[in-house]
Structure 1
Amino acid sequence: MNPENQILQANAAFTKNLYAILARKKGNVFFSPISIHAVLSMLHQGAQGDTAQVLAHTLNNPDAKSTAEGYRAVTKRLNAFKQVTLLTANKIYGVEGEAKVRSEFAKGIEENFKGEFEELKVEDAAKAAKSVNDWVAEKTQKNIKSIVNEAMFKKNLSLLVVNAIFFKGEWVSKFKENFTKDDEFFVEEKNSVGVKMMHQKGNYWYVQDEELDAQIIEIPYKGFDVKMMVILPTENDIEKLEAKLAKTDFGKLGKNSKLTDVHLYLPKFKMEETIELNNVLSEMGLKSIFDIKEANFKGIFDTTSLKDNIFVSDVVQKAFIEVNEGGTVAAAATRAAMVLGCAPTKSQPVTFKVDHPAVFMLLAAHGKDADASSILFYGRLSHPRH
């Protein structure tokens, strides 16, 4: 298997394991799995000993060299899409006067992850935080304006690794605003909230998945490189669906779908989530990277310059999404040619109405030879807000 496919499969497995923990909370869930996976994979490049092993195992990564090659291919493809805006950017911040970062590590991050490196002066915590936050705001077109705070720079910080991801795309077929109506969304079987429900009739890749007891639809963005997949349980029981998804191969989701006439009803919504990941990642097997005694990142630093052992202090992600008639803006991922050449199935139109909790993903295609897609964003829509 080539390194690109290895990373795509690793990202899918990591997404499933991460979501199984995040899904324990009630309400909306939204995150960018590939963003988190990329940050941890950069750390994997400089990890040694047991730390390297636990990172590889938890991330489902191959060896560090193959991981770097895979991300080089993934990053190049994601940044080459023409008809949607998809920006991924990675940056490593060292601390001026502290441990010296190995030049070969910084070079590898730049070449394989398209990452940048900068040394920060942390004596002025406010200035250091502003520098990082300004970079994130720029890369996400100001959709995410703050990812660090001053307090982070008042600790013994030696290394900060940041990944930014931004997506903006128009639907291939936009919803007409005059078709958007007030409607109900049943957060529970007998408890509903008001929503702005978009509607249109069109041809979509669709399947009624019997194993999941759910409908699956793919809604493409212009260029067909990125699509939104929505998985809607037949019954209003999102926990039952999530339990089944935890045992499902994501690469096979929607594989039996057919181009179908669909009455599509989709609520307008926005989500903004801040996720503190230390406890989640520890539960997934990465407890040692947060432990000053156990963490081993000596492949990142010149060990002769180390004052103390280096460990990860915080992993935090902020993610944002807005879905409306024109398309989607999201910050914190094919069968396109077949759409143009296939006729829809000759049957009565089906109705796909997202009027109760559902799971959704933004997926980025990786060509006909790829075994999977990049999972750019993943979420649970439990309570639409617009």
Structure 2
Amino acid sequence: MESKKHSVSHFSINYLKKSGQNENFFFSPASIFLSLSMAACGSEQQTLKEFKDVLNYQNNIELGQLIHSLNSLLTSSSQEFSVLSANKIYTGVSGMTQNCKQFIENNLNGGFEQVNFKEAESVRVSINKWVSIQTSTKIDELLKKDMISAQTKMILINALYLKAEWLYQFEVAQDRKFYLQPGKEESIVFTKMMYKEAEYKYGKFDHFEYIQLPFKNEAYAMEILLPITNLNDLENSITDEQIIKAQRSSKKTDVRLLLPKFKMGGTSQSVVSILQQLGIQDAFTNQANFKQFSQTEELLISNVIHSANIEVNEKGTEAVAATVIMAKKQCISLKKYQEFFCNKPFIFTISHIPSNTILFLGRFCVPVKQE
């Protein structure tokens, strides 16, 4: 089962590499993986083969085990750490096989719902309401107007929201330099950067420096991969095996950390093009075979919409942050610190560390002015 958890991380790296370069990007491979799994269980023949190749599984037993393990990582909710997901298939046809229906009921927390797409606006409002409830109103309009129509046959929905508190909270962010192009003074912009001196898991490898920032739920952490040369070189060479190696071989180190304060995501986007590049193609054409979903009508996927957002900040009241600053001024540290300054483009994950599973993955290239 361990290797199949790794397959989600493998999928995430492949997905990132197909997303373009040199721009901010944030998504949840785990959430997309779950929705694709729903589609896969309704497919047959070449359509099914493409899902198996991209998702890296052999049969429905393996797929069910993988879905169950992912769902267990995406259902944590507390004041200090919450990850909320919404996954569902909407279709306008009938005739689902009993095997397919049972698989969805047994393995997926969102499920399958039949709707009348001729009432497109009503369906859109209903879907958005469901997603809003599932994500505690953090994603309130996943589907924009005109995203669905009377011609729509099936939609896969995945939405995900993360909120977490750091184990080691940062000092109040201050304006500092950020290099859009590492080492080039003419590329400098100023952005809010957070500072912290603490003990983190740190390592230096062939193409990147690595640091692990634990949340108060210490099974989860943000991982940052800071390129040795530039971000494009790192993206072209990085593999999920390298990240797992970094997780396992990094050592606890006293670190001086600089990290941008930022928000990312929150908009709904079609991800069909990326999925086609990864190898899922028949599902979006008239060659699609979804006989498990409907034995009476021909069915294809008309769109796959994904929305994920993240906010990275000091996560503490102003009074707490001020107290930390004051305490720092009153002491002189004799420790030797490793500097880890995220003042140039980098890759970051939100991962479940014990299972080496990437739940979220992002690329930070350009600071965006905070409101």
Q: Same fold (TM over 0.5)?
A: yes
Q: Deviations over 1:114-169 (max 9, x none)?
A: 22333323332211101111111222223322222443432432322222222111
- Contact (CA 8 Å) 2:158, 2:307: kept in 1 or not? no
Structure 2 residue runs of 5 or longer lacking an equivalent are: 317-333
- Give the Cα–Cα distance (whole angstroms) in 1 for the partners of residues 187 and 73 of structure 2: 43
Report the residue type matching 1:182 in the other structure.
Answer: D
Preserved contact between residue 76 and residue 84 of structure 2 (Cα < 8 Å):
no
User: 1:300 — aligned with what?
Assistant: 293
CA contact (8 A) 2:94 2:114 kept: no
Structure 1 unaligned residues grouped into runs of 5+:
328-345
Q: Are 1:358 and 2:346 counterparts?
A: yes
Per the alignment, residue 359 of structure 2 pairs with 376
How far 1:171 sits from its partner (Å)? Answer: 0.3
Q: Does structure 1 residue 277 correspond to structure 2 residue 271?
A: yes
Q: Among 303, 313, 327, which residue is 1:324 paired with?
A: 313
Question: What is the one-letter code of the residue matched to 1:265?
Answer: L
Aligned Cα root-mean-square deviation (Å)? 2.1
Structure 1 residues 27-66: Cα deviation after superposition (integer angstroms, max 9, x where no partner): 2111111111111111111111111111100122232221
In structure 2, the partner of 1:206 is 202
SS at match of 2:64: helix
Aligned residue runs from structure 1 range 1-386, under 5 A: 2=1, 5-22=2-19, 24-80=20-76, 83-95=80-92, 98-177=93-172, 180-188=173-181, 189=184, 190-209=186-205, 211-212=206-207, 214-235=208-229, 237-246=230-239, 248-272=241-265, 273-292=267-286, 294-301=287-294, 303=295, 305-306=296-297, 309-326=298-315, 348-365=336-353, 367=354, 370=355, 372-373=356-357, 375-385=358-368, 386=370
CA distance in structure 1 between the partners assigned to 2:246 and 2:293 by the alignment:
38
Shift of 1:12: 1.3
After superposition, the C-alpha distances for 1:264-317 in whole angstroms (9 at most, x for unaligned) are 11110111254422222112111111111x11111122x1x32xx111111121
SS in 1 for 2:50: helix
- Match of 1:381, as an amino acid? F
Report the 3-state secondary structure (helix = DSSP H, G, I; strand = E; otherwise coil) of the residue aligned with 2:140: coil
CA contact (8 A) 1:72 1:114 kept: no
Q: Matched residues in 1 for 2:307 and 2:240: separation?
A: 27
The 1:67/1:265 distance shift into structure 2, 3 A limit, reads same
Q: Return the offset for 1:101.
A: 2.9
Equivalent residue letter for 1:250: I
TM-score (norm 2): 0.87
Q: Deviations over 1:220-276 (max 9, x none)?
A: 1112021000011234x1111112214854322332211110011111011125442
Could you tell me whether the CA contact under 8 Å between 1:55 and 1:286 is conserved in 2? yes
Letter aligned with residue 278 of structure 1: V
> Identity over the aligned pairs, expressed in percent?
28
Q: Distance in 2 between matches of 1:76 and 1:314?
A: 27
The answer for the alignment partner of 1:336 in structure 2 is none
Secondary structure (helix, strand or coil) at the match of 2:111 reads strand
Q: Does the Cα contact within 8 Å between 1:20 and 1:246 map onto a contact in 2?
A: no
- After the TM superposition, which of the residue ranges 11-20 and 118-127 deviates more from structure 2? 118-127
CA distance, structure 2, for counterparts of residue 103 and residue 123 of structure 1: 26
Matched residue SS, 1:89: strand
- TM-score relative to the length of structure 1: 0.84
d(CA) in 2 for partners of 1:147, 1:75: 21
Counterpart-to-counterpart distance in 2, 1:323 and 1:246: 25
Distance 1:161 1:275, change over 3 A: closer
Distance 1:247 1:205 in 2: 18
Other structure's SS at 1:175 match = coil
Secondary structure in 2 matching 1:286: coil
**Cα distance change, pair 318–81 in 1 and its aligned pair in 2 (3 A):** closer
Specify the SS of the correspondent of 1:164.
strand
